[in-house]
Amino acid sequence: MTASLFVLIAMTVVVAILAVYRSIVARREDDLLRVVDPTGLMVKNQRVLAGTLKQVDRYGVVLTVATAVYGVGLLATFVYTGLLQNGRM
């Protein structure tokens, strides 16, 4: 049971690190609409950054859901084995 708990803690830490990484990447985001950009460099940078944030968000959602499902499953297993050991089921 302790190994499963360490896996859950590791998954939670990975989700937290991903959230911090997203925050750091989002600091460089430029929210202004660039209509006139003769070189096209600003628009290209905005597109690359938006793609990066989209990918990080996708991984964040998947990892958060996986961590939550794993945590609920681990909790259910822990409660079930606790009830079996007490002879209530």
Q: Where are the domains of the chain?
A: 2-85
Residues 1 and 75 sit within 8 Å (Cβ to Cβ):
no
The b-or-e profile of 71-82 (16+ CB within 10 A means b, else e) is beeeeeeeeeee
Helix (H) or strand (E) holding 70: helix 41-85
Contact assessment for residue 87 and residue 28, using Cβ atoms and an 8 Å cutoff: no
Note the pLDDT of residue 10: 97
pLDDT, one tens digit per residue, over 18-66 is: 999 999 999 988 777 767 777 878 888 888 999 999 999 999 999 999 9
Residue 67, classified by CB atoms within 10 Å of its CB into exposed (0-12), middle (13-18) or buried (19+), is buried
